[in-house]
Structure 1
């Protein structure tokens, strides 16, 4: 069972609804707890945002010299994750590309272990994923976070906004942190950037 954390001032009007039971309700409240230290990233220019203390978003790391001029370098991302969350993180790659240089271990959505990169096929940028795949991924993330209070989930897509926002907002609603998609999208916008989701992605 998770410890209930302090609610974020900006979102205290968005009370989690206990549809899935007390455990999910407490879990949703715990996710609201964010640490100020989580906002200070090792490199100021690293495109990595903590939505909560245990849920983060980043863009696809660079593959090649040209991309490294405007994307995270895979070594910088690896250093951040290994330095702060060694053995306790899973990156959910929604970009459609194989995780490549970032991979520490290959994985799929049914095998969870800390330090894992999970390629999630079937996600297309700016298009809604299949509902069954989205729900299954939310269940997998919930199980991973519930397994250890140190575990953290990172959503990764090409721009760190579109597909990542869909997954993060769906997960925030899955754990009953927010009753409406608009509230979950507002949290994402405050913590990272306005997601610019299409109606089908909400």
Structure 2
């Protein structure tokens, strides 16, 4: 299984560490910023590193040959349809909500803002519409009363993402395919940046 990882920051590094110990070959690491900590970790590991030409989009030319699966981990770039087609199994990402609830960049913040007593994490298929692809794995957790978005992320949602990602990778290695359950659009909600929501 050859995986290309696209991402950034702490969660990108933690995902890379998980992949390095999970019996997959890392075809390459794609980053929007060459100074990001994921870029540094990829260099330290001697991996093929590519800095995106456009930080908002990952193109097919930026996906290494013979990639079986693209994984995004804290990447805010859209993976183009051509890039997904360049990967045998397409791509998956982690979203820190029970999709289709809280689609968007501020899912954890909206979980706290809305007072959700329960949340969770979702591994989903990358698709043209943001956070709208089929669900590959999903698990819930309680929200502790009074905790902040950062506390919820660090306590429960980041570790859950790594666990679910490993589970889906194991499935792909065993069966050569990814689980896929369509999202129920009746329950879709948006989670835009909080500042934008306040100004709207």
* TM-score over 0.5 for the pair: no
TM bin (shorter chain): 0.3 to 0.5
Larger RCO (alpha carbons 8 Å, 6+ apart): 1
Q: Hey, which of these two has a bigger chunk of helix by percent? A: 1
